[in-house]
Structure 1
């Protein structure tokens, strides 16, 4: 008999499945969250103010994803319509010490964090006597600890409720599959609680697919991918120096290992957001620096395992967002459900081939146009035409 094929265990990602994922801006009050939101979205939403709880209900806006590949395809096809990819961003009100116990507007704020898929945590590293700090002084390591403690305490509360429910079924006894599963689940949740009490985040650990399924059912706050945005003064950002940076790195290495720290300046980005593209380019050239916003957006997409494919023609060039590992029919479904349900095949051109040959006919003549079926896993940068039943394509 031929040897059995090894079945690879499917990787299950932490968090909500899907392609329309949302990033939330989180931090203590008065650290620059709402101003950052306005700068990155270039819209007047949000409520920057010099007092705590200026933002209560979260604001939402879409941020265009910087994409040199999209720009190049538009140059080649010169389409009537250009539709770039976007990332949805939420401005969430500032947390405060005691939020997990309902202090301030804590419970509402924490529920808003629970509704997003990833976190931009803004950390204040600038001194400004006119902008009060809710804790009295600028101390980023302490602020990071406050946020982590509040999120962890709330996660412990979620876990304890889930543990109680699992143990209730496990105590019935017997050998049923449900009882066995709940006993295993209870043991795992106890491990999670111990981890959270130690100050570690769930997102920064290695889990089995079965464990990920349990974590995803709990909607834990510390299971969300996080990028730490270090808000510097314009002067410190340009000279790439700040007295707090080393302590921030030490804290992240200890409590959130592997997560990225991106220094930026809300003050500078807010100023640039009111300029034209040409004016901002000239300003950055004069200052000898670059905007951090493109890196902030593209890095979060990678954190969320998001990639792009393109549809391109004379009518429209569009960049579509999918999770890495998505198969062709599901990618077609991002465009329209009918395309997924009646999928026949995908005609795939690699981005590099489109750039080289500049024309679909030339790509085809070179033998580079690929016909792919239902099992094809879409790769980042694919330019695709979907063929489907009932004349849809």
Structure 2
């Protein structure tokens, strides 16, 4: 709350004697900060509030921890994890899930057995697969990673060549030119189009481009295309300016 109070004080000082545009902007900052302060005083997380786009822009400047998305990773015993340490599992997990639902609705709770994961980490993959099959369970690490990616609004697209396949991580909602810019800034500046194939379609075709093209599963996308999770993309660009 100290950050918010300080922001209100600074905005009040900045609007004194300022031009009309500055005064208007600072009044908006103060109104939003006071709204956030009231929210915090009620013991609520900022991330769970309903905010307008202009309010979000102001909130982002406050760098508040409670404005960040959250995923709760809960360490449980190997036995409880295997039995099903979720809201239908142990009493502890029921209470934790209830607390999260009451205090941070919408946030995900992921049970993890650190003991099990540590034991699996020392084994080769074949032994890990056999052990998990014998225990009739799965590692929680992929689940935790996916939940963290969802909370951060991260997705992946792929580029494929003869020598390698690369995964590129971007924020959900990123358009094709900006996605290309993750590879190299020149690709964003000189972007022409993107040839896009869906991952599942490429797998079904055994990676055969001729099958993809013949079945009409290769599409050309322009600058306004929003890249989707699992897209396989080949970017076309103009020659970079020197």
Question: Aligned equivalents of 2:204 and 2:82: distance in 1?
Answer: 38
Pairing 1:169–2:33 present = no
- Determine the structure 1 residue equivalent to 2:41: 197
Match of 1:368 among 197, 203, 217: 217
Q: So what's the TM-score if we normalise by structure 1?
A: 0.57
User: Are residues 1:251 and 2:99 paired?
Assistant: yes
The residue that corresponds to 1:159 in the other structure is: 4
Change (3 A) 1:277 1:218: same
Hey, what's the Cα distance between the residues in 2 that align with 1:288 and 1:245?
Answer: 20
Q: Does 1:387 align with 2:231?
A: no
Quote the Cα distance in structure 1 between the aligned partners of 2:213 and 2:120.
44
Are 2:64 and 1:220 aligned? yes
Q: Distance in 1 between matches of 2:29 and 2:80?
A: 48
Name structure 2 gaps, 5 residues minimum: none
Return the alpha-carbon distance in structure 2 between the equivalents of residues 294 and 305 of structure 1.
Answer: 16
Aligned to 2:29: 185
Q: Does the residue aligned with 2:212 lie in a helix, a strand or coil?
A: helix
Q: Specify the SS of the correspondent of 1:244.
A: helix
Residue of structure 1 in register with 2:186 after alignment: 338
Give 1:173 deviation, angstroms. 7.0
- Residues of 2 paired with 1:172 and 1:196: CA distance? 30
Gaps of 5+ in 1: 1-155
* Contact in 1 for aligned 2:32/2:59 (Cα 8 Å): no
User: Of the candidates 296, 303, 315, which is equivalent to residue 163 of structure 2?
Assistant: 315
The DSSP-based 3-state class of the residue aligned with 1:380 is coil
Measure how far apart 1:164 and its partner are. 0.7
1:11-22 aligned within 5 A: none
Task: Output the CA distance in 2 between the equivalents of 1:340 and 1:294.
Answer: 31
Structure 1 counterpart of 2:79: 235
Q: 1:345-360 alignment to 2 at 5 Å?
A: 345-358=193-206, 359-360=208-209
Alpha-carbon separation, structure 1, partners of 2:136 and 2:215: 44
Structure 1 pair 173/332, CA: closer, same or farther in 2 (3 Å)?
Answer: closer
Q: Kindly indicate whether structure 1 or structure 2 has the higher relative contact order, using CA contacts under 8 Å at least 6 residues apart.
A: 1
Partners of 1:167 and 1:307 lie apart in 2 by 40
Q: 1:254 Cα shift?
A: 1.7
Aligned residue runs from structure 1 range 23-38, under 5 A: none
**Correspondences of 1:30-109 after superposition (within 5 Å):** none
| 1:291 to partner: Cα distance | 1.1
| 1:185-232 Cα deviation digits (max 9, x unpaired) | 112111111111111111112211101101111111111111111111
Once the two structures are superposed, residues 211-263 of structure 1 have per-residue CA deviations (whole angstroms, 9 ceiling, x without a partner) of: 11011111111111111111111122222343322221222112111101111
Q: Secondary structure at the match of 1:291?
A: coil
SS of the residue 1:348 aligns to: strand
* Higher helix proportion (structure 1 or 2): 2
C-alpha distance in 2 between matches for 1:381 and 1:157: 42
> Contact 2:75/2:112 (CA < 8 Å) preserved in 1?
yes
Task: Tell me how many residue pairs correspond in the alignment.
Answer: 236
